[in-house]
Amino acid sequence: MTLLKEPDFGTPARPGAATVELTVDGVAVRVPPGTSVLRAAKEAGVDVPKLCATDNLEAFGSCRLCVVEIDGVRGTPASCTTPVAAGMVVRTQNERLGKLRRGVMELYISDHPLDCLTCSANGDCELQDMAGVTGLREVRYGSGVDAGANHLDLPTDSSNPYFDFEASKCIACSRCVRACDEVQGTLALTIEGRGFDSKVAAGAGGSFFDSDCVSCGACVQACPTATLQEKSVVELGMPTRTVLTTCAYCGVGCSFKAELRGDELVRMVPYKNGGANEGHSCVKGRFAFGYASHPDRVLEPMVRDKISDPWRTVSWPEAISFTARRLREIQAAHGQGSIGAITSSRTTNEEVYAVQKLVRAVFGNNNVDTCARVCHSPTGYGLKQTFGESAGTQDFRSVDESDVILVIGSNPTDAHPVFGSRMKQRIRQGAKLIVIDPRRIDLVRTPHVEAAYHLELRPGTNVAIVNALAHVVVTEGLVDREFVASRCEDFEAWETFIAQPEHSPEAVADICGVPADKIRAAARLYATGGNAAIYYGLGVTEHSQGSTMVMGMANLAMATGNIGRPGVGVNPMRGQNNVQGSCDMGSFPHELPGYRHVSNDDVREIYEQLWGTPILNEPGLRIPNMFDAAIDGSFKALFVQGEDIAQSDPNTQHVFAALGALELLVVQDLFVNETAKFAHVLLPGTSFLEKDGTFTNAERRINRVRPIMAPRTGKQEWEIICEIAQAMGYPMQYESAARIMDEIALTTPTFTGVSFDRLDELGSIQWPCDVDHPEGTPIMHSAEFTRGKGRFMETVYVPTSERSTRKFPLILTTGRILSQYNVGAQTRRTANVAWHSEDVLELHPHDAEVRGVTDGDLIALSSRVGRTELRAKISDRMPVGVCYTTFHHPVSGANVVTTDNSDWATNCPEYKVTAVQVDLVPTSVAAVPEVVVAGGK
């Protein structure tokens, strides 16, 4: 693919039918009402010169280049700010207009350094382009240093790790300022001064790094000159080719243009036609790709007999044969069920599918689980029980039609920033926001966004509060009776249950710590405010009642009729890029691809026929069960695909004990991570820049991941899996990742219509995609639920057994931060560490004061199961009695203190509720956390 320049229509598209006809340079064109003349001209095939206009921003009308003549209209109006009218006759080019534009360009150029040949934007500069288009040949006012007053001596701000602000090249078009407002919603940039003194400033005029800038890159993308430019472009030069691919960070699944020179990745630019992101990005996807070429990458396989031995670098055949031989030996000695695998949400659907096939067809058991176990397994369970499908109901675009947005246990601006921006824009347009979270997350109050209600509940009381919301709906006559009667079942029993006084806001107020009247008001708003949508995250699922809470939210949505159309729904915010896909691909131990239970004879027969081998009809071990079984001696070998379970899973000492007890641990990863320290085999993996396959995002959108370079290890990860299978005696072979997808489509009803060719044609597809939905399904459960009738489930509030005591008086919750991702394996190997170089513990000033802790102090964090040390951050966004940290850095290792508690239905760990104590560490004590030494085998 060559350099992909997306057409720019100058102003945003307007919704509705194209009913207004006008003529542009003699060409008739029909557009929706409200469309600008500039856009209509582009749609008629006429490019009008422009500088301040671009189609992801509202018209601004400042540059005066897009002037046109319109019959019956005096003067030369700016075509970007002039809406079309029926019968309008427009001329975009003649001598008069040309002269005007050249005049404008002369003024711009007179205050611009004419260093085009050495400029970093050479070849990608709209100012340069417009000088050419307008036929500028001379500048009567002089130029550069020969001109009069100018801005050529303004300094360059290089404070941001990823881009420079070269103020001397700024033409003050405000595109960056408007992008920060209209696209990102952060409003970190402004125009400072007036008239000739106007200049772009970050915040109050400090550096970009010290401002509110979130480094999403929207300003860089919007800049028509070299003023805001990626440092990578400054250093390497302009890219020469583009490959369209998908970000490998969070579950938003942004489409990016990987722009390269040869095989050298220069920059990642968000793709305007990307279904999930529509041209927007965040600091991770946009800039944090350097980990792929980091020197820590392992590129050759390594093996060792005991984990106390040094690694031996070996050839691929030796690594494959060692792995296959040891797996078979262990099975021979300890039984067929003594081995298993964990798949990764950071790998492609095809790679996950290959691993679960390896387990089922070659290992001969169902001991395969995925890292979604520890994040969104309650989503799969809860939504399957109530709606019949283990997935969120809406596309991201749906939020544009929400009138009430209920955010529970999710921090979109940090964890899903591109969608968070979209949500903020909708709230700024007037949608009401309810936030249910112990912390005052940014969304509660940020520029031009303020939650109508923030229910600051105590950690662990989600179910009590969702029941109270439903209680209000039922007892105050707010049920959508028609929807419930026609679309749902088991309502009467649920209505009786939820109407019980124990679920009233007054009864649960003391449990949750939220005043009853606030709960009532929020419930009324949700039920009566128009289209109401629920967005939730790990603050819902990672509890001992995570599945109950998911069902509670589904009940609430059904009771109020908020399912089955744009603007409503129940939407899990998936943490990693392919959480949805890894679940879809059958990597839960009780489900084959498409969430079909292994006991289903008809489904097993499909795979048994195709794979030519029997499939066990009993569920296998989940991840926590694998750890327990490893410790009790019945589970001996584990293949871990791209996950760092030693850092990410709860109760680190327990995980270490399990890993240390294994006879064989095979890790497939980019780096020697914490888990690999216990491994006997390290099979180097491919980064997303080398992968060929698909990711499925939080809105069920299947996106292509295209390789921009050959695998640096020489092999795709699915090829390695196939080779292990072959070495174990099973003929597993594919020509390409596309053929794996063909097999997925052949065997999985919801993927019937999916293929690489179809994805290339449509861009992306939201499953289900079948004969009835050939282009996918953006909104689920429109006419009926997947299971037929939506089912109301009784959701009893059973408090967690984890309690605060005098010894452990605080409750710890964990989460994410914008600049880092998951265990930090990727982002810690990028310049993102400039923002978050270590995990810190946030706690309320009161809790800090009574412990004598001040900001930045080293503190000891201890729970019933472990202890670690990290720095304190005093923050009044924390409620009293609750503290918070991230788990991005292995040095602090927050999971040293988290417990074995888990969701009753799925074993999803209860990361969000750990009773802890915080003590000041005397400055004389070394700040090195204790290291648990693994046993050698």
- The reply to whether 619 sits near other proteins by the rule CB under 8 A is yes
- The reply to whether 551 sits near other proteins by the rule CB under 8 A is no
Dihedral pair phi/psi, residue 112, rounded to 5°: -135, 135
Binding residues among 594-613 for other proteins as defined by CB under 8 A: 597, 599
Which CB atom, from 523 or from 551, has the smaller least distance to other proteins?
551
- Choices 157-165, 187-195, 446-454, 893-901 (CB under 8 A): range interacting with other proteins: 893-901
Which CB atom, from 160 or from 625, has the smaller least distance to other proteins?
625
C-alpha 372 chain-centroid distance? 14
Cα within 13 Å of Cα(58), Cβ side: 5
Which CB atom, from 532 or from 626, has the smaller least distance to other proteins?
626
Distance from C-alpha of 862 to C-alpha of 849, rounded to nearest angstrom: 18
Minimum distance of other proteins from residue 591's CB (angstroms): 10
- The reply to whether 36 sits near other proteins by the rule CB under 8 A is no
Distance from C-alpha of 720 to C-alpha of 734, rounded to nearest angstrom: 11
Helical ranges in 281-366 per DSSP H:
283-287, 316-334, 349-357
DSSP assignment string, 358-393: IIIIII-S--EEEGGGGTTHHHHHHHHHHTSSSS-S
Which CB atom, from 83 or from 619, has the smaller least distance to other proteins?
619
The site map against other proteins for 620-639 (x = CB under 8 A) is xxx-xx--xx----x-----
Minimum distance of other proteins from residue 904's CB (angstroms): 4
Given 323, 345, 410, 901, the residue binding other proteins (CB under 8 A): 901
Given 746, 796, 891, 925, the residue binding other proteins (CB under 8 A): 796
Given 136, 900, 919, 934, the residue binding other proteins (CB under 8 A): 900
Distance from C-alpha of 191 to C-alpha of 199, rounded to nearest angstrom: 5
Dihedral pair phi/psi, residue 241, rounded to 5°: -145, 160
- The reply to whether 891 sits near other proteins by the rule CB under 8 A is no
Given 907, 908, 917, 918, the residue binding other proteins (CB under 8 A): 907
Whether 609 contacts 399, CB under 8 Å: no
Distance from C-alpha of 256 to C-alpha of 272, rounded to nearest angstrom: 9
Which CB atom, from 294 or from 590, has the smaller least distance to other proteins?
590
| 637-641/664-669 β-pairing | parallel
- The reply to whether 897 sits near other proteins by the rule CB under 8 A is no
- Return the percent helix, strand and coil in the chain, to nearest 5: 35, 20, 50
Under DSSP, the state recorded for 216 is: -
Binding residues among 115-144 for other proteins as defined by CB under 8 A: none
Which CB atom, from 69 or from 900, has the smaller least distance to other proteins?
900
Binding residues among 362-381 for other proteins as defined by CB under 8 A: 366-367
Distance from C-alpha of 880 to C-alpha of 843, rounded to nearest angstrom: 8
Minimum distance of other proteins from residue 913's CB (angstroms): 12
Distance from C-alpha of 594 to C-alpha of 581, rounded to nearest angstrom: 10
687 contact partners, CB below 8 Å, separation of at least 6: 248, 291, 292, 297, 670, 712
Minimum distance of other proteins from residue 536's CB (angstroms): 20
Which CB atom, from 128 or from 386, has the smaller least distance to other proteins?
386
The site map against other proteins for 797-836 (x = CB under 8 A) is -x--------------------------------------
- The reply to whether 590 sits near other proteins by the rule CB under 8 A is yes
Nearest to 342 by CA among 575, 648, 604, 694: 648
Q: Count interface residues toward other proteins (CB under 8 A).
A: 35
- The reply to whether 865 sits near other proteins by the rule CB under 8 A is yes
Which CB atom, from 394 or from 906, has the smaller least distance to other proteins?
906
DSSP assignment string, 259-294: EEETTEEEEEEE-TT-TTTTT---HHHHH--GGGG-
Q: 736, exposed or middle or buried, with CB in 10 Å at 0-12, 13-18, 19+?
A: middle
- The reply to whether 548 sits near other proteins by the rule CB under 8 A is yes
- Choices 5-13, 168-176, 265-273, 904-912 (CB under 8 A): range interacting with other proteins: 904-912
What would the two tokens of residue 708 be? Answer: 């921009």
- Choices 543-551, 570-578, 844-852, 870-878 (CB under 8 A): range interacting with other proteins: 543-551
Which CB atom, from 174 or from 907, has the smaller least distance to other proteins?
907
Whether 293 contacts 236, CB under 8 Å: no
Using CB under 8 A, list all residues that contact other proteins.
337, 366-367, 544-545, 548, 589-590, 597, 599, 618-622, 624-625, 628-629, 634, 651, 654, 794, 796, 798, 864-865, 899-902, 904-907
